[in-house]
């Protein structure tokens, strides 16, 4: 009688391993295809979302409603200057002295919305807050060098002039801009409030990677207002060197407010600026212990108190 012989154990093992290996390869291919597909979808979604997210701006109608809830009338104007749009908000009585707020980067005029509805400030000032070129609704996405920003904003200061004193308050990158504006408008500007101002070129990190973000297709992956911000921060490296000669043209009082623990814009910027302000009528300095770069919001009362003093000293 014929008795079938069992297949050698080694042969079964080889056959089993072959099936297992083939199955794993197929699974890996499926997994890789799915991963590539998911990654492609995520990239496409991000490219779409990045265009409109993190713009750091709110529609005018929405901001008007918010101010109405506080009982404060809010007015908007967009002025054409050399083919560019300069958008700004105004609160307060037009017969009062004016404080003009200049935001940092990224940002927009509403960085100072809290101040513009403050009852104590409204008793003393008309307040204007400007969307710097390339931000908010001032041709969003198209930033400029400091000198060009001053050329575009100066006509706004002239047009809104009500023959009362005009003071400038600038935060972060808005700090060097108010130096440039005051140098370009020495008769009009009566005082400066520098809030965490970035003015010392030696304090700026090289950041040689920035051009890769705005000069290559990587720029499309940068979200919202960070796109023009990245570009103007690269401009700032050279802009601050050119700004050095403008400090001597400042003759009005200058008030410095800075966080002692500011790691983004170190307090050394204050000492640097004070050395260059050789013709300033008066220099006041407030270094807030333990405070960081975000003092316009975290140290609101301290900054408001300084603003209230500007027109009385």
- Residues 245-285: tens digit of each pLDDT: 999 999 999 999 999 999 999 999 999 999 999 999 999 99
* Claim to verify: residue 119 and residue 254 sit in the same structural domain: yes
Q: Which of 20-34, 90-104, 136-150, 239-253 has the lowest mean pLDDT?
A: 20-34
* Claim to verify: residue 186 and residue 65 sit in the same structural domain: yes
Q: Are 57 and 228 in contact (CB under 8 A)?
A: no
* Claim to verify: residue 20 and residue 117 sit in the same structural domain: no
Average pLDDT over residues 108-132: 98
Residue 213, classed as helix, strand or coil, is helix
Average pLDDT over residues 226-234: 94
pLDDT of residue 2: 47
| Assigned domain for 246 exists | yes
| Assigned domain for 1 exists | no
Distance, in Å, from the CA atom of 81 to the CA atom of 84, rounded to the nearest integer, reads 5
* Claim to verify: residue 288 and residue 182 sit in the same structural domain: yes
Average pLDDT over residues 107-135: 98
Distance, in Å, from the CA atom of 152 to the CA atom of 80, rounded to the nearest integer, reads 9
Share of the chain above pLDDT 90, in %: 74
pLDDT of residue 11: 53
pLDDT of residue 25: 72
Residue 38: pLDDT above 70?
no
pLDDT band at residue 51 under the 50/70/90 scheme? low
Residue 4: pLDDT above 60?
no
* Claim to verify: residue 192 and residue 141 sit in the same structural domain: yes
Express each pLDDT in 206-218 by its tens digit: 888 788 777 888 7
Q: What is the pTM of this model?
A: 0.86
Residue 125: pLDDT above 60?
yes
* Claim to verify: residue 37 and residue 97 sit in the same structural domain: no
| Assigned domain for 4 exists | no
User: Which residues constitute the domain of residue 14?
Assistant: 10-50
Distance, in Å, from the CA atom of 269 to the CA atom of 259, rounded to the nearest integer, reads 11
pLDDT band at residue 18 under the 50/70/90 scheme? low
CATH of the domain at 295: 3.40.50.1820
Please report, for residues 39, 50, 228, 231, the alpha-carbon distance to residue 46 in angstroms, rounded to integers and kept in the order given. 10, 6, 18, 20
* Claim to verify: residue 19 and residue 105 sit in the same structural domain: no
Express each pLDDT in 157-188 by its tens digit: 999 999 999 999 999 999 999 999 999 999 99
């Amino acid at each position: 009688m014929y008795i079938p012989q069992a297949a050698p154990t080694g042969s079964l093992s080889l056959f089993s391993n072959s099936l297992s290996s083939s199955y794993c390869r197929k699974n890996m291919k499926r997994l890789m295809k799915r991963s590539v597909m998911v990654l492609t979808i995520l990239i496409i979604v991000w490219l779409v979302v990045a265009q409109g997210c993190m713009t750091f701006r709110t529609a005018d109608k929405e901001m008007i409603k918010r101010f109405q809830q506080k009982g404060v009338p809010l007015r908007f104007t967009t002025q054409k200057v050399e083919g560019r749009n300069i958008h700004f908000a105004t609160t307060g009585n037009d017969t009062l002295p004016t404080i003009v707020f200049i935001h940092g980067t990224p940002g927009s005029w509403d960085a100072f919305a809290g101040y513009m509805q403050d009852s104590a400030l409204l008793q003393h000032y008309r307040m204007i807050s400007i969307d710097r070129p390339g931000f908010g609704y001032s041709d969003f996405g198209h930033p400029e060098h400091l000198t060009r920003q001053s050329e575009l904003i100066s006509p706004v200061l002239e047009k809104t002039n009500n023959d009362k004193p005009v003071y400038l308050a600038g935060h972060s990158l808005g700090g060097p801009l108010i130096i440039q504006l005051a140098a370009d408008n020495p008769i009009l500007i009566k005082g400066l409030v520098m809030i965490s101002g970035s003015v010392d070129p030696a304090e700026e990190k090289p950041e040689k990677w920035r051009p890769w973000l705005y000069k290559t297709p990587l720029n499309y992956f940068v979200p919202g207002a960070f796109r023009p911000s990245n570009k103007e921060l690269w401009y700032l490296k050279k802009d601050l060197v050119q700004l050095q000669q403008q400090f001597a043209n400042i003759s009005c009082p200058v008030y410095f407010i800075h966080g002692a623990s500011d790691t983004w814009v170190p307090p050394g910027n204050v000492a640097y600026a004070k050395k260059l302000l050789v013709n300033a009528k008066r220099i006041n300095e407030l270094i807030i212990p333990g405070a960081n770069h975000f003092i316009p919001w975290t140290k609101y009362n301290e900054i408001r108190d300084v603003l209230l003093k500007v027109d009385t000293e």
